[in-house]
Amino acid sequence: MSHIYLRSTAATALILSLTAPAYAQIEDEIIVTGSPLMRSVDEAITGVSVLSGDELSNRLASTIGETLKSEPGVSSTYFGAGASRPIIRGQGGDRVRVLTNGIGSIDASSASPDHAVAAEPAQAERIEVLRGAALLRYGSSGSGGVVNVIDGRIPTELPDGVDGAVRIGASSVDLGREAAGSLDVASGRIVLHLDGTFKESDDYRIPVSGESREQLLEEGEEIPEDYDESRRLDNSAAKSTALTGGLSYIGDTARFGFAVHKFDSDYGIPGGHAHEEGEDDEDHDEDHGDEEEEEENVTIGLDQTRVDVNGAVDLPGFIQTVQLFGGYADYTHTEFEGPGEVGTVFTNEGYEVRVEAIQRERNGWAAAHGVQYRKRDFAAIGEEAFVPPTQTTQLGIYSFHEKEIGDFHVEGAVRFENTQQENSVTGEDLSFDAFSVSAGGDVHLSDAVRVGGTVYRTERAPTTEELFSNGPHLATNQFELGDATLGKEVSTGIEAAIRHREDGHFTTVNLFYTDYKDYIFEVETDAEEDGLPVFQYMADDAKFYGFEVQGGMDVTTLGAWDVKVDALAEYVRAKTDSGNLPRIPPLSILTGVDFETDRVRLRAELDYAAQQTKVSANELPTDDFALVNVFANWKAPAGAQDVTLSISMHNVFDSEARQHTSFLKDLVPLPGRNVRFSIRSAF
C-alpha cells in the first residue's frame, strides 16, 4: 500500500465525513473533572472527552498513554509496552496531570518517559480528558491538560445488593493475557469494594521493512526457522498486577470512604539504555561485546502502595456541599541493568489533600471554592541519579464561578499557588508564588449551534528536574543540567469552540493558541559528559497553536443495520524564538465507519499520521504512516447475562509506524498486526 494511496484515502475519508453533517450522541454524562461545578459533556465550553463503555474496551491498552492516544488532541510518549504517558496538544511531562479519582498519581512518571504511570487503565470505569487550562482546580502541573482515571475504588452509590464485573482478554502481537474483576457488596449503608487486575505479555512482534512471509512464500523461498523470533522486539515484555480494597459509608446527606491499592509492574526498556562500562575500549573481545549486549537489557520494577480517602456532606444554607479528596502513596521505581543487578532506585513518598465547598445556586449564580495541599519527597540513588533528593510542597487556593444570563453562560476562576522546592543535598530552598485566572462563556445561537471560548493567564513554577538536574539520564541518552535560577513560566492563551448538533449529526471545532513567556525546555549544548551529549534546561518565549475538528453522521439504514461515519483531525504547532520544539505530534486523522444493530457493532477505521519535518536541532524527522484497524462487539440478548464479546485487529496490513512523540522513535517501531480478544460480563 503506497504512501500516495494512504494519503488519498485518509484525505477522502476526512472530506466525506466532515463536509456532511455529523452524527451526534448527545452526551449527558456528568464530568467530575475540571470544575467542582459539575457539568455534562455537552455543556462544557471547551475541549473535554470521556472514554467509557465499549469505546474504552476497544481502546484499552497496557498503559494509560496508549489507551488515550485516539482521543482528540492526545498522543503519547510511548516508551515500549510498559511505559507510555499522555501528551496533550504537544505538552507532556509536568504540564499534564494524570489523576486517579481526582488525586494525582503520586509517582515519578513526569520525571522521565521510561517511568510508567501508576494508574491501571484496565480498572477504569471511565477516563476523562480535559484539554486547555484545567489547572485551576488541580495545580500548575496540569497547565497542558488533565487526565482523570475513575475506577470506583471508593463507592459513592449504594449497589442493589451485589454488583460485579469480570473481564479476560488476550492479544496475538505479544502473546498477551489479562484478567480483571471487581465486586461491590452492600450491607445496609456500608459498601465493600474489591478489585484486581493481572496482565502479562512477551516481547511484541514488529513489522519488517524487508520481505514479508507472504512475499517469501510467493517467491518460493524457504521461511527461516527464526523468522517469527527475529521480528520480535527484544526486551519489550511487561507484567503487572493491581489489587484494591475499599470501604464506604453512604448516608442520605453524607458519605465517606477509603481504599488501599497495591500496584506492581515489571517491564523491559527496548533499545538498550544500560550504563556500559568500557564502551570506548576498542580492544574488547567478542565475549565482552556479548556481555555488553546483555547489560543493555534494562528492566524496571515498579511498586506503589496507595491509600485514598473521599467524602462529602450536604448542608443547609449558603454552602450546599463540602467534599474531601485525599491520597497518600509510597512509590519505588528500580532500574535493573541485569538479573538482580540494581542500577538506580527512584523513590517518591507523597500525599495530596483537597477540600472544596460548593455554594447553593441562587439566581443563576453557582460557585465553589477549594484548598489543595501537596507534598513530595523524591530521591534517586545510583548511576542514573540525575536529580538529587528533593522535597516539594505546594499550597493552592482557588475559586470557580458560573452565571446564567439569558442565553449566555459565563464562568470564571482564579487560583493562587505557592510552591517550595528544596534541594536536600545543597540545602537550597526556592519559593515561587503563582497566580492564574481564566474566564469564558458560550451562547446558543440556535437549538443546534453553540459558540464558546475561554481566555486564560497561568503561571507555573519550575520542577525539581528543571532546577536541580545534574547527571546522566540514560533512558533519554542525555546528560541533563538544571538551572536553579529559572523563574516562573507564564502562559497567555485563548481557546474557541464551535459545535453543531442535531439528530443524526454533529460537528465540533476547537481552536487554541497559547503564548508562553519563559517556556522551560531542554536544549542540546556542544558539550559532552560521561559520553553523553549535555542538555541544559533553559527558558525562552514559545507559541503553541492548533486545532481539533471532529464530526460524525448517520448515513443510512440497511435492514437491521445502522450505518454511521465519523472523523477526527488534529494539529499542533510548537516553537520557541530559537527554533522548533522536539517531539511535537504531526497532523493526524482518524476516520471510521460503523455498522450497528441492537446487539452487534462492527467498525473499520483508518489512523493516519503525516510526516513530521518541523523538528528541533539534532532531531530526525519521521515518515507518515497509516494503520487500518477493525473492531467487532457482540452483546448477549436482553434478559440474559450481561455479556459482551469483543474481537479486533489493529494494524491490519502490518505497516511500519514510528511515533514522533516517542524518545525511542528512531530505535523502536510500533507493534505489528495484532488480534485482540476479550469477554466481559457484569452482574
pLDDT digits 0-9 by tens, 211-224 = 555 555 666 766 66
Residue 215, pLDDT score: 59
Task: List, in sequence order, the alpha helices (H) in 280-423.
Answer: 286-295
Percentage of residues in the chain with pLDDT exceeding 70? 88
> In terms of pTM, does the model score above 0.75?
yes
pLDDT band for position 17 (cuts 50, 70, 90)? very low
* Mean pLDDT (whole number) for 347-365: 95
Domain ranges for the chain, please list them: 3-682
- Between the alpha carbon of residue 681 and those of residues 176, 543, 584, the distances in Å are 20, 47, 40
pLDDT band for position 272 (cuts 50, 70, 90)? low
Residue 48, pLDDT score: 86
pLDDT digits 0-9 by tens, 478-494 = 899 999 999 999 999 99
Q: Is the pLDDT of residue 339 over 90?
A: no
* Distance between CA atoms of residues 601 and 474, nearest Å: 45
**Of 482, 475, 373, nearest in space to 425 by CA:** 482
Ramachandran region of residue 93, left (φ > 0), alpha (ψ -120 to 50) or beta?
left
Residue 56 amino acid letter? L
Sign of CA dihedral 148, 153, 157, 159: positive
CB atoms within 10 A of CB 258: 16
Residue 197, pLDDT score: 97
HEC states along 521-586?
EEEEEEEEECCEEEEEEEEEEEEEEEEEEEEEEEEEEECCEEEEEEEEEEEEEEEECCEECCCCCC
Q: How long is the chain? A: 683
pLDDT, averaged across the chain? 88
Residue 617, pLDDT score: 87
pLDDT digits 0-9 by tens, 37-57 = 877 777 778 778 899 988 999
C-alpha cell at 580: 522548533
C-alpha cell at 551: 464530526
Phi, psi torsion values for 117, nearest 5 degrees: -80, 130
pLDDT band for position 19 (cuts 50, 70, 90)? very low
Residue 549, pLDDT score: 97
* Distance between CA atoms of residues 527 and 535, nearest Å: 9
* Mean pLDDT (whole number) for 58-83: 94
Q: Is the pLDDT of residue 99 over 70?
A: yes
Residue 204, pLDDT score: 95
Residue 229, pLDDT score: 53
Candidate CATH numbers 2.40.50.140, 2.40.170.20, 3.40.50.1010, 3.40.50.300; the one for domain 3-682: 2.40.170.20
Phi, psi torsion values for 490, nearest 5 degrees: -115, 130
pLDDT digits 0-9 by tens, 495-514 = 999 999 998 999 999 999 99
Q: How is the beta sheet containing 126-131 ordered, strand by strand?
A: 48-52, 126-131, 145-150, 96-100, 103-104
* Mean pLDDT (whole number) for 329-345: 90
Q: Look at 45 and 375; give whichever has higher pLDDT.
A: 375
pLDDT digits 0-9 by tens, 112-154 = 899 999 999 999 999 999 986 667 899 888 888 999 999 999 9
Q: What one-character DSSP code corresponds to residue 364?
A: T
Q: Is the pLDDT of residue 275 over 70?
A: no
Under a CB-based contact definition with an 8 Å cutoff, are residues 98 and 121 in contact? no
Residue 31, pLDDT score: 80
Residue 599, pLDDT score: 93
Q: Distance between alpha carbon 656 and the CA centroid of its chain, in Å?
A: 23
* Distance between CA atoms of residues 506 and 47, nearest Å: 15
Under a CB-based contact definition with an 8 Å cutoff, are residues 526 and 506 in contact? no
* Distance between CA atoms of residues 5 and 566, nearest Å: 20
pLDDT digits 0-9 by tens, 587-646 = 999 999 999 999 999 999 999 999 999 999 889 999 999 999 999 999 998 766 789 999
Residue 134, pLDDT score: 63
